[in-house]
Amino acid sequence: MPEILQLDTPDWMLVVWTKDTDTAIRRLQHTLQHRDKPLPPTLLSFSPALLVTDEDCVLSEYQVAATPLFFENKLYEFEFRFRCGRYDAGSPAVLHRLQAVEEAFHYAAHTDSLRGSLNFANDVGWFRLKLTYTRATKRIEQSIAFEVLPLKMDLHTDLVQIQQVIDRQYPLWRFALSHKTDTELERSRQPHERFPLLWLAQFAGLREALQAGVRQILNAPHSRLLSQADYCRADRLQGRLTRRQEEAITADQQQGLTQRRYRQQQRHLSADTPENRFVKMVLQHCVRELSRFAQRATAENAAPENSRLSASFFQALQDWQTPLQQQLNQPFFRDIGAFSGLNGTSLVLHQKAGYAAVYRVWLQLRMYLEVLGRHAAVSVKSVAELYEVWCFLEIRRVLTETLGFSEQTSTKAQLDRRRLERHLHDGIGSAFVLERADGVRLRLAHEPVIGRLTKGLRQGLVSWTTTQKPDILLDITLPDGQRLCWIFDAKYRIQEGAAGQDTAPDDAINQMHRYRDALIYADSRDAMQHTKSRPVFGAFVLFPGWFEQHAQTNPAQAAIDAVGIGSFPLLPGQACLWLQQFLEQQLGKITPQQTAAYPQADADRYFVQDAGRISYSGMQTVRYRDLTLVAGLGGGRSADYMTAFREGAAQWYHLPVTTPQQRRVAHFVMQELRYCAPAVPVLGTAEREIGFVYPVLAVECVKRSAITEAQSGSRKIRDPDAVYWLFTLGAPLRLGIRVLVPGMRDFKFRLTGLDDLSTAGNWQALPDRYVFLAHDPQPV
């Protein structure tokens, strides 16, 4: 691997290797170009300031390259080569809060070098490495920090927007204890919320100021002259007496009262002041909080699956606590009482050296969420986790702000606040529940755990084989009780497609096929066995690709329409137009022409889509078992042809393919037809009537030239290449009540049910199937 960085100091040289940074730089440059931003340089930050040999000066920040060098999901080799003599094995070491980072480095005594390999995975932000070694019996600690950049987003715009969205819904969830990198904290207006991770991050930057302030107080403590009343005999009185005291003593001595005691005010210096009590309270509070944090971190780290924190991290907590406890054990604080508050503004706390420093530290620790800044940093969850939750909240935003759903807050997802980090309660039971005025009810769940069928489950989503855990599940219940689901899976990955176009990874698309096949809706209302159905109408990958969605078409749209599997690009700061349009088409929205009602929510609109009609070979998927076509007979037919329909002896019926297409009737809906009810002209009237219903034995598309005169009732062929639907009819069923169809000049067309024809007496009384289709009369 080629060297990408070399840093020389008097004690050591740092060399970093990695493979192929050019590809990563091109990927990041492609990302930043869409945001009109240049590539950032690589900066190293040192604490304390470090003597850099190349610059021959002490620096706290040093630019080592004009382009970025450190990226997510990339392996780096670090080597510290020491120059100040040989060390005992294990003497030089790297300190980090993560045990995995420390164990990645190994000191080789024969080469006097410390070497390790690191892959930052999806942890982005500032990586801080503390190098510790001994020189001339003196232990030296040197911190080095650099920024790890994401490739598919901009760290300082996209991720900031993601964090802001998450913070509004799930405050403090994004902060973590055990990740490789840190994020500089910004101000937040939540001063009353307690969160140990942020308190610790703030305390880490203020502890030295607190210790220095307490040392000044111990060297020059504040004290006050306090008055104290003593009672003693006349011969023990000291100092000047008042005239009243002299008169009282003289009168008592004349009466022989020599043992009487007299009150005398004496003043003496005391350090037991409200200010010193305040300082003692601050020290006790910090020691107590550090101890509690260490105990909780130790308890969480004890579990084998959570054992990530290093011993040096816990040692650092102890090292922070020890000097504060030593100061608290000083004899000075033994005579200081408990703090009970201040009776007003104290000039000592505001102005006196030492006291003012402790007071400032206390204010920042107390209101840490309001004053966090560059001096405080804390680890955050990986960018992949952040992107997943942001996608979940972005879908919720589209549903509520664009499609008119309102949130039922009683069961929305909650945060687990019992641990050092916040965790989301996953699953269907804690999802967002959304409703709309038209009766559509949604359940938007984050990472629901869908397992095998359990005893007592009457109906619900199950997986017959292995447990499934999709990122986002949108469970839809329509007003008629029909349920269907969509799966969305957020993948913080991009695959380069044709002409450098961003696409979702192939393995992510394959995973969508798995979800659709694995999830089953089981219904146990059947006394014999569970009725099984497939509820997932679509599964889609959400990925951070960049497209001009206003001017382009989604490259995955063809697959979405055909099989219900595809992807949608989703990025903060860019309108998610394609995803929004998809949800609008599926769930409907109020248009400017509609001011009160939504389009009727009907399950039929989902069952006429191509993706919902794919069945196993040799089988056919149908929505209605009695779907009936009601249509009129065209003019210009032979007398024998018309007589056959009037007497119930017809064998064929034909219809131009363009007629159902004008009404948006899909091809497979025509193939679903089980009955045909022709409307036959009534002799001597201007009406038509339906007297017979024919079972449809076969449905096929043929050219007009292939339809015989017997099948069509006409010799005339206007367009031999025109495509027609040809229905082969069986033995008819006679209707008890003939259905009247008014008008002879227009062509009637309707999809209805067989039972409905038996009870309806006229055209207007016939109910529709697939009601969202257009049924307005069209000219022949």
Dist. CA 187–CA 578, nearest whole Å = 34
CATH number of the domain residue 745 falls in: 3.10.400
Determine, yes or no, domain membership for 172: no
pLDDT category at 79 given cuts 50, 70, 90 is: very high
Residues 569 and 628 in one domain: no
Provide the pLDDT for residue 5. Answer: 92
User: Can you give the residue range of the structural domain that contains 89?
Assistant: 3-153
Residues 752 and 620 in one domain: yes
Provide the pLDDT for residue 775. Answer: 43
pLDDT category at 179 given cuts 50, 70, 90 is: confident
Dist. CA 775–CA 174, nearest whole Å = 53
pLDDT above 50: residue 189? no
Q: What is the DSSP string of 308-352?
A: -B-HHHHHHHHHHHHHHHHHHTSHHHHT-------SS--HHHHHS
Residues 597 and 696 in one domain: no
pLDDT above 50: residue 580? yes
Q: What is the DSSP string of 45-88?
A: EEEEEEEETTTTEEEEEEEEESS---BTT-EEEEEEEE-S----
| 3-state DSSP of 726-759 | EEEECCCEEEEEEEEEECCCCECEEEEEHHHHHH
Residues 359 and 440 in one domain: no
- Mean pLDDT (the chain) is 81
pLDDT above 50: residue 190? no
Residues 639 and 596 in one domain: no
Q: Contact, 371 vs 187, CB < 8 A? A: yes
Of 96, 119, 153, the residue that ends a domain is 153
Dist. CA 503–CA 569, nearest whole Å = 8
Determine, yes or no, domain membership for 441: yes
| Structural tokens at position 669 | 């809906």
**Average of per-residue pLDDT across 326-350:** 84
Q: Contact, 695 vs 729, CB < 8 A? A: yes
Dist. CA 171–CA 55, nearest whole Å = 44
Residues 315 and 431 in one domain: no
Of 100, 134, 153, the residue that ends a domain is 153
Q: For strand 495-496 and strand 502-503, is the pairing parallel, antiparallel, or unpaired?
A: antiparallel
Determine, yes or no, domain membership for 583: yes
Dist. CA 536–CA 520, nearest whole Å = 8
Task: Give the helix, strand, coil percentages of the chain, each rounded to 5.
Answer: 30, 30, 40
CA–chain centroid gap for 247, Å, is: 86
In this structure, which long-range contacts are made by residues 490-494, counting pairs with CB atoms below 8 Å and at least 24 apart in sequence?
A: 490/387, 490/388, 490/391, 490/392, 490/542, 490/543, 490/570, 491/541, 491/542, 491/543, 492/122, 492/152, 492/383, 492/384, 492/387, 492/388, 492/543, 492/544, 493/152, 493/543, 494/152, 494/543, 494/544, 494/545
**Alpha-carbon radius of gyration of the chain:** 41
Provide the pLDDT for residue 695. Answer: 93
Residues 369 and 417 in one domain: no
pLDDT above 70: residue 103? yes
Determine, yes or no, domain membership for 749: yes
Determine, yes or no, domain membership for 167: no
Residues 201 and 76 in one domain: no
Determine, yes or no, domain membership for 771: no
Which range, 229-233, 290-294, 609-613, has the best average confidence (pLDDT)?
A: 290-294
Residues 601 and 619 in one domain: no
Of 605, 637, 652, the residue that ends a domain is 605
Determine, yes or no, domain membership for 510: yes
Residues 425 and 496 in one domain: yes
Of the listed ranges 117-131, 425-439, 511-525, the least confidently predicted one is 425-439
Determine, yes or no, domain membership for 67: yes
Residues 298 and 280 in one domain: yes
pLDDT above 80: residue 406? yes
657: phi then psi, degrees, rounded to nearest 5: -60, -30
Of the listed ranges 142-146, 477-481, 626-630, the least confidently predicted one is 477-481
**pTM flag (> 0.75):** no
Nearest to 12 by CA among 146, 129, 131: 131
Provide the pLDDT for residue 374. Answer: 41
Q: Say what percent of the chain tops pLDDT 90.
A: 23
pLDDT category at 780 given cuts 50, 70, 90 is: very low
Q: Residue 48: is the preceding peptide bond cis (ω within 30°)?
A: yes
**Average of per-residue pLDDT across 697-723:** 89
pLDDT category at 206 given cuts 50, 70, 90 is: confident
CA–chain centroid gap for 493, Å, is: 15
Q: Contact, 397 vs 405, CB < 8 A? A: no
610 exposure class (CB count in 10 Å sphere: 0-12, 13-18, 19+): middle
Nearest to 88 by CA among 15, 35, 139, 130: 139
Which range, 254-263, 445-454, 578-587, has the best average confidence (pLDDT)?
A: 578-587
Residues 522 and 650 in one domain: no
Number of domains in the chain: 4
Of the listed ranges 28-32, 304-308, 570-574, the least confidently predicted one is 304-308
